[in-house]
Amino acid sequence: MASEAISSGPVSIGRPSHRPVLAVIAVVLGAFIHSLDTRLFSIGLADLRGAFGLTLDEGSWLSTAATAPQILIAPAIAWLATVFGLRRVLVGPSLVYIAISLLIPFARDYQTLLVLHIVHSLLPGVFIPVTIMIVLRNLPMRWWIVGLAAYSFRLSFTSNAGVWMVGYHVQNLGWEWLYWQNAVVALLMMILTLLGTPRENINHQLLAKADWSGMLLFGAGLALIYTGLDQGNRLDWFESGTVIALLAGGTVLLVCFLINEAVVAEPWASPTVLTSRNVLLAMATMITYMVTSLSNTMLVPTFLTAVAGLRPEQTGSLLLLYTALPICIVMLVAIYLLRRIDARFVVICGLTSFAIAAWMGTRITGEWALDDFIPIALAQALGQGLTFTALLIFVLANSNPARATAFVAYIQVMRLNMIEITVTGMNTWLRVREQTHSHLIGLHVSAGDSEVAQRLAQLTGQFLDYSTAAQMASARAMATLARLVRMSCRSSTALPSPSGAPSSGCCWSASCAPHRPDL
């Protein structure tokens, strides 16, 4: 495979690890912490809002605070690890992360909770880049495929196993373990890093030439843009001055960063790292991977939660058994193939699996149950296990790993902001479509109709029979009726209402909602 060497940035080759197995396990755990932290928080946000007594707006900002700050520091970590050594960069933040993870469940004041989450979010921004640097700086080259496979494995595994973990923690151990679990993992990672990576001296020569302004401009710009994207849907995009200020401010800072990199003597992350044609193509393919893998992280859990009305403990077993665990086998297959054939063919096989899963997803209806999603889950497991590892290998084959600091900085842009752009675009499309269909469905149901009042009274009586408070029974009746209408209006057959009159395709009977846990 042709290779174009990229020579931008400081030399980042370190001393080889004397215990590469421990270093690889540390890579896995470090990558797991970030993915578990993000996934557990996103899936378990409803439980956390209930536990902390947060409003919808407070929960939304807490969710943003749990992710955006890591972008401020993540791109610079590779450079800091090159200057100070992996041990110094990793051990201190790990101790702080463990302490904050243990303390957060005891916070009750919202301002304190927000500050703790901002600091807590900064630290996973350290772990992910450091795990890549362990592979590139301290592992012998024959271990690179294994190390990168371990790094990519965490994303696919935790995004699926995380749903099951949320349900298990909330139902059995307590919601506090959504935080405490990662404290245990961080402790193990810190110990293995100390045992598996060599002690390195501070690079004073490189420290004297530090491009602090470039690091600050780049991280702050990306963090502002991420925050604007994350809050855009809730605040209605350009109708909100907050969103406009965040996006505009982030864009201005990124422009200043590019100017800074062009004029400083020793640029920290020069964009010339992306001038290789093969690297640009590989980055574009990574964007394709992020878009296609979104079907796994959003389609199945969102459908089963929003349409079927199931909780994580009810849906987690599907993703654990048929996506997360099969990925363990697929990753071994990927390592075997990458040692023997061109990485591009492995990427093609992975993207083909995603295409098959997407085609099966077009056949989803409101009547699908858990078992109907098994073929999609297996196809997505194959796609995730093959594609990302092969892409990382392909990018490294067309760059100079000795100049990895700038490359790893831009990988963080791909990992965080590109994923957020993709998720935001999908959420915006879903929101607009949901509003359109909600309006069309609502044309058949009016608050003052006798049929609506009769059905609400019937449902309220059913919930009151279970000794539910009157106000709660009324709220559950309204939510159940809304779900009945949403699901029944997917049917093309007009079914009778309780009064015997046609209902314009909207079914009022319990048989129209086979997945409803309330009835």
The neighbour count for residue 510, using CB atoms within 10 Å, is: 13
pTM exceeding the 0.85 threshold for the entire prediction: no
Query: Token pair of 333, please?
Result: 């297959």
Helix (H) or strand (E) holding 110: helix 110-122
pLDDT at 465: 61
The neighbour count for residue 517, using CB atoms within 10 Å, is: 11
Termini Cα distance of the chain: 60
Task: Tell me if residue 338 falls in helix, strand or coil.
Answer: helix
Q: Could you read off the pLDDT of 337-378 as tens digits, one per residue?
A: 888 888 888 888 888 888 888 888 888 877 787 888 888 888
Query: Token pair of 237, please?
Result: 């995009």
The answer to whether 327 touches 153, Cβ cutoff 8 Å, is yes
Task: Tell me if residue 496 falls in helix, strand or coil.
Answer: strand
Write the Ramachandran bin of 201: left for phi over 0, alpha for psi from -120 to 50, otherwise beta: beta
pLDDT at 406: 67
Q: Could you read off the pLDDT of 91-137 as tens digits, one per residue?
A: 888 888 899 989 888 888 888 888 888 888 888 777 777 777 777 77
Query: Token pair of 218, please?
Result: 């780049």
The answer to whether 490 touches 460, Cβ cutoff 8 Å, is no
For the chain, list the domains and their CATH numbers: 20-436 (1.20.1250.20), 448-512 (no CATH)
- Which residues of the chain fall short of a pLDDT of 70? 1-20, 27, 31, 138, 155, 276, 295-297, 397-408, 412, 415-417, 441-448, 465-471, 485-519
